[in-house]
Structure 1
Amino acid sequence: MAAIMSVDFENCFILTFLCFFSFLSYSFIFKKPKNSRRGRDLPPSPPSLPIVGHLHLLLSTLIHKSLQKISSKYGPLLHLRFFHVPIILVSSASMAHEIFKSHDVNISYRGVSANGESLVFGSSGFLSAPYGDYLKFMKKLAVTKFLRPQAIEQAQGVRAVELERFYANLMEKAKKKESVEIAMEVMKLTNNMIFRMIMGRRYSEARGYAERVMELTIKSFNLTKKIFFANMLRSMFEKLGISLFNKEIMGVSREYDELLERILVEHEETLEEEDQDKDMMDFLLETYRDEKAEYKITRNHIKSLFVEIFLGGTDPSTRATEWTMAEILNNPNILEKMREEIDTVVGKARLIQESDLPNLPYLQAVVKEGLRMYPPLPLVLRAFQESCEIKGFYVPKETVLVVNAYGVMRDPDSWEDPDVFKPERFLDFSRSGQEEQGMKYIPFGAGRRGCLGSHLAYIVQGTTIGTMVQCFDWRIKGDKINMEETLAGLVLTMAHPLKCTPVPRLGPFGF
């Protein structure tokens, strides 16, 4: 409860400060815009207020739900304004399909660089980079080196070891009858998997690098909402020589920089060793040293990329797993169907493995349904680099695009009983073609800036949830788990973290 109150206070303080500040400086900062529409109409817009525009419609901390409510009343394509910032809000599959199909290159810039020097969403980052040579080069490197099917398969052993440790840790908790906070246990697992996949096997726990990365990742996510506000209102405050939250952002960036520089140096010292498997860091260092590379990357490029991998792969995946486990425990019939499938395919003598997933369609459907109802990042943010027309409406250059993925995937026009957890819907959904699916299902974004690691995310979530279902019963307080939502930064989070006590069902498997 204290955490929720602090989030509400922070939001109210920021909103009150910005409204008061804007009122005092309105005549200095804002001028009446010129007629940039050239006689063409902007998309429909709800009634707005002077100065703040439509910000009063977002007084709830659940921004995605506020935007869903606005769209259900005024339509799936809307023009909004937060102070001086123009926004296009999209909340339907058909409208998202139109935009990503016809304007994908134009909206390929996220526009989230709040501080150019920071390693956290700074100018050297992959996520904030405009669509150009650097982005194309790094995507090519990722697809051909890090995320190609062979590379993912080669790292299967690393993930299996961490999954076994996860199981053993839960078994120890079960023996002691200790309550478990699911999110924290899953975050440790996911963080360790990612760390070992990209940094290699050489790092022992004695160095504490993985734990330190997880601490910094949590710090970074606590800053995401502030970074979002800083970015949205950057131009306004730059005129007054004010940099919002710069001290906090750069503080975390410096901590990342010191840790990653140490790891880079250690990798450089052993890069020439021939009988070691190369990891992601080794490949990037080789590219950094290659004078003939298509694009000359810097050390900051490497560091920023790793920061964003941890940000994108740890907390969002953790929250998705937590939400899905909560729904499973709230629906005993679903739990039983999952166990019946796992017991039939895997048996009771060994732990579930990644190679089992293709033969577990119901488990896969449960994972997908969890992502549909609780997308880790409920809002997909982009920016129009050039003016364009959408469905006959004019969209000015540099307008922010907000696709409400949460609203799209709970749209009653696209989904039957959208607020009900029904994994069965994906048993039929997976058989339909992409054109039929359209943009109904976008938990990892869409277009050329969609998440490159979605396939790996499905694997990790599938084996993690499969292990918890296969090996343990779970005792909860009360009859049902509270599914109230909140936002931690911009990540969809349970307002009441899922805590339950594991009870051994199968095992031990001898790990």
Structure 2
Amino acid sequence: MDTVVSVVLLLIMLACTLMFMLRHLHVRSRKSNSNLPPGPSFLTIIRNSLELHKKPYQTIAKLTKVYGPIMRFKVGQTTTILISSTKAAKEIFQTHDTLFSDRAYFDVGTAYNHNQYSLIFLPVSPLWQELRKICHENLFSTKSLDASQDLRHNKLHRLLSDIRQSSLKEETVDIKIAAFMACINFLTYTFLSHDFVHCVGDGEYKHIVTTILETHFTPNLVDYFPMLRMFDPQGLRRHTANYFGKLFDVLEPFMEKRMKMRREKDYVTNNDMLDILLEISERNNDKIHKKHIKHFFLDLLVAGTDTTAYGLERIMSELMHNPETMSKVKQELAEIIGVGKYVEESDIARLPYLRAVIKEGLRMHPPAPLVPRRAKRDVQVCEYMIPEGAQVLINVGFICRNPEVWENAHVFSPERFLDSDIDVKLGRDFKLTPFGSGRRICPGSSLAIRMMHVMLGSFINCFHWKLENNMDPKDMDLDQSLKAIPILA
């Protein structure tokens, strides 16, 4: 009988202890949750899901008006915090940079174990630091980019020659496709000194890159419910791996051939990125090896083509929609470069209005409107607590068009940057960070800026452009793709 009583008392004590613990945890949870940012309910997210997918930062801007500049989304096991103010962005990028220095990655990014080699997705670690150092000191340094500019110069000639042929035939040019192919050629020649795209096929290559981007931005159940990872129910990871493999299959023979050539005594370097990376690898294979080079090449091509092409197309659209601004930049180019001449990288410093046009274009149409980070632990940002593991998105697209931050925020006006010391490559002015900021700022921004100036300046200086069917520029839809007919200047 005593044993039974003892067991009952023990069970009562355990029950009371459990109830106390649960109550304590509930109180702690309520206290913690009370300091979390506000945000829409799951049902509100579902109702807006289609618009969120089609026009993410425009839809988020509407929700921001309701819930404020620091907003929380909770879907499945994933918590996302959206930052839409310069004050909060500064805390993420600068004040708490070390606590937000990692990035959450999508499940599709694990194809070919890309997340374990990619500079974009690697957490801050000795490997990440080494790759970052190689980018700053070797690949994207002013010295390296100056040494490889002849490679891009040759591809610019080909691009302008193709457009000239379209001009003679009075053919319409799809500006984004032209810019897309130009970006690919600029990047592959900078990396390989070779026409990589020709080996894949122009159309096939564009399809590969576009598909990889689409899989990364397609809502994936696995990202919200990780227990589904082994099933890959939508097949997005398998699909992505297939296209990663296609690029690697073409790249590997290039790398093998180059490594063989480098063993020859009379080999002369082309000053391209592949030579730089192979030289570092030969000196110290622990720093970087073949897999790192392949995945770096993948990052460069996928991240650097569509975004830059999109930016160029949008800026051209804005210039054609604003003939007075187009006239001003044409006048500067005519006076400094000479009508009909292409722009070289060494000319950029002499073209303040063109530089202002690019900055204003990046403000109006940032290539990455949502910049991702991940909280390493609970962090207070402004008045709210950002929970550990939360994905944080800095809403650059909203900040760049916020009337509280910018005068005439929705007007394309390069003049605002003529007397401005904002340097978008540095990311230190938190109202304009198109390439991110802090230790995770885009390492290739210096190359992207060169490419944009050279291509846009040459497009404008070598050709006049008119819309299809003699459309009045005032009637343009700036959200639509830009197709125009080039006329020799």
C-alpha distance 479-398 of structure 1, shift in aligned 2 (>3 A): same
CA distance, structure 2, for counterparts of residue 266 and residue 115 of structure 1: 30
C-alpha distance 329-374 of structure 1, shift in aligned 2 (>3 A): same
Of 342, 349, 361, 1:370 maps to: 361
Shift of 1:173: 0.5
The aligned length equals 457
Tell me the residue number matched to 1:332. Answer: 323
The C-alpha deviation readout for 1:336-387, integer Å capped at 9, x for no partner, is 1011111111123633222221111111111111111111221111211212
C-alpha distance 355-143 of structure 1, shift in aligned 2 (>3 A): same
Shift of 1:122: 3.3
The 8 Å contact of residues 315 and 358 in structure 2, kept in 1 or not, is answered as yes
The 8 Å contact of residues 78 and 223 in structure 2, kept in 1 or not, is answered as yes
Alignment gaps of 5+ in structure 2: 1-24
Tell me the residue number matched to 1:499. Answer: 483
The 8 Å contact of residues 43 and 77 in structure 1, kept in 2 or not, is answered as no
Instruction: State how 1:294-333 maps to structure 2 within 5 Å.
Output: 295-333=286-324
CA distance, structure 1, for counterparts of residue 438 and residue 210 of structure 2: 28
Tell me the residue number matched to 2:350. Answer: 359
Is the aligned partner of 1:401 residue 2:392? yes
Shift of 1:245: 1.6
Instruction: Please tell me the residue identity of whatever aligns with 2:262.
Output: L
CA distance, structure 2, for counterparts of residue 36 and residue 272 of structure 1: 64
SS of alignment partner, residue 314 of structure 1:
helix
Instruction: State how 1:154-303 maps to structure 2 within 5 Å.
Output: 154-201=147-194, 207=199, 213-226=205-218, 229=220, 232-238=223-229, 242=233, 244-273=235-264, 274-290=267-283, 292=284, 295-303=286-294
The 8 Å contact of residues 427 and 433 in structure 2, kept in 1 or not, is answered as no
C-alpha distance 276-415 of structure 1, shift in aligned 2 (>3 A): same
- The TM-score normalised by the length of structure 1 is 0.83
CA distance, structure 2, for counterparts of residue 374 and residue 150 of structure 1: 29
C-alpha distance 403-121 of structure 1, shift in aligned 2 (>3 A): farther
RMSD over equivalenced CA pairs, Å: 2.7
SS of alignment partner, residue 217 of structure 1:
helix
Is the aligned partner of 1:384 residue 2:375? yes
Q: Which moved more, 1:306-315 or 1:95-104?
A: 95-104
Instruction: Please tell me the residue identity of whatever aligns with 1:497.
Output: S
Is the aligned partner of 1:146 residue 2:139? yes
Shift of 1:482: 3.8
CA distance, structure 2, for counterparts of residue 436 and residue 503 of structure 1: 37
SS of alignment partner, residue 163 of structure 1:
helix
The C-alpha deviation readout for 1:226-248, integer Å capped at 9, x for no partner, is 3x635632514238775752221
Tell me the residue number matched to 2:20. Answer: none
Q: Which moved more, 1:98-107 or 1:412-421?
A: 98-107
Shift of 1:206: 6.5
Q: Which moved more, 1:400-409 or 1:298-307?
A: 298-307
Instruction: Please tell me the residue identity of whatever aligns with 2:214.
Output: N
Shift of 1:433: 12
CA distance, structure 2, for counterparts of residue 381 and residue 500 of structure 1: 35
Is the aligned partner of 1:425 residue 2:416? yes
Shift of 1:137: 0.3
- The TM-score normalised by the length of structure 2 is 0.86
The C-alpha deviation readout for 1:209-232, integer Å capped at 9, x for no partner, is 787654422231232213x63563
Of 440, 446, 457, 2:431 maps to: 440
Instruction: Please tell me the residue identity of whatever aligns with 1:347.
Output: G
CA distance, structure 1, for counterparts of residue 255 and residue 423 of structure 2: 45
The 8 Å contact of residues 353 and 463 in structure 1, kept in 2 or not, is answered as yes
Shift of 1:469: 1.1
Alignment gaps of 5+ in structure 1: 1-32, 486-495, 506-511
C-alpha distance 81-484 of structure 1, shift in aligned 2 (>3 A): farther
The 8 Å contact of residues 465 and 485 in structure 2, kept in 1 or not, is answered as yes
Instruction: State how 1:74-93 maps to structure 2 within 5 Å.
Output: 74-93=67-86
- Radius of gyration: which is bigger? 2
CA distance, structure 2, for counterparts of residue 357 and residue 276 of structure 1: 27
C-alpha distance 296-433 of structure 1, shift in aligned 2 (>3 A): closer
Of 433, 442, 460, 1:451 maps to: 442
The 8 Å contact of residues 109 and 216 in structure 2, kept in 1 or not, is answered as no
The C-alpha deviation readout for 1:161-184, integer Å capped at 9, x for no partner, is 111211111111000000110111
Instruction: Please tell me the residue identity of whatever aligns with 1:261.
Output: E
C-alpha distance 349-378 of structure 1, shift in aligned 2 (>3 A): closer
Instruction: Please tell me the residue identity of whatever aligns with 2:331.
Output: E
The C-alpha deviation readout for 1:368-413, integer Å capped at 9, x for no partner, is 1111111122111121121211124222110110111100101111
CA distance, structure 2, for counterparts of residue 434 and residue 246 of structure 1: 33
Is the aligned partner of 1:43 residue 2:36? yes
Shift of 1:195: 0.4
Structure with more helix by fraction: 2
Tell me the residue number matched to 1:509. Answer: none
SS of alignment partner, residue 122 of structure 1:
helix
CA distance, structure 1, for counterparts of residue 333 and residue 62 of structure 2: 39
C-alpha distance 460-433 of structure 1, shift in aligned 2 (>3 A): closer
The 8 Å contact of residues 114 and 122 in structure 1, kept in 2 or not, is answered as no
Instruction: Please tell me the residue identity of whatever aligns with 2:487.
Output: V
SS of alignment partner, residue 251 of structure 2:
helix
CA distance, structure 2, for counterparts of residue 222 and residue 47 of structure 1: 26
Shift of 1:282: 2.4
The C-alpha deviation readout for 1:239-276, integer Å capped at 9, x for no partner, is 87757522211211221221222222111111224323
The C-alpha deviation readout for 1:293-325, integer Å capped at 9, x for no partner, is 5x4434322211110100111110000000000
Residue identity over aligned pairs, in percent, reads: 25
Q: Which moved more, 1:472-481 or 1:203-212?
A: 203-212
SS of alignment partner, residue 80 of structure 1:
strand
The C-alpha deviation readout for 1:425-470, integer Å capped at 9, x for no partner, is 1113326999997300011111111111112211111111111111
C-alpha distance 120-339 of structure 1, shift in aligned 2 (>3 A): farther
The 8 Å contact of residues 100 and 375 in structure 2, kept in 1 or not, is answered as yes
CA distance, structure 2, for counterparts of residue 261 and residue 125 of structure 1: 17
The 8 Å contact of residues 425 and 445 in structure 2, kept in 1 or not, is answered as no
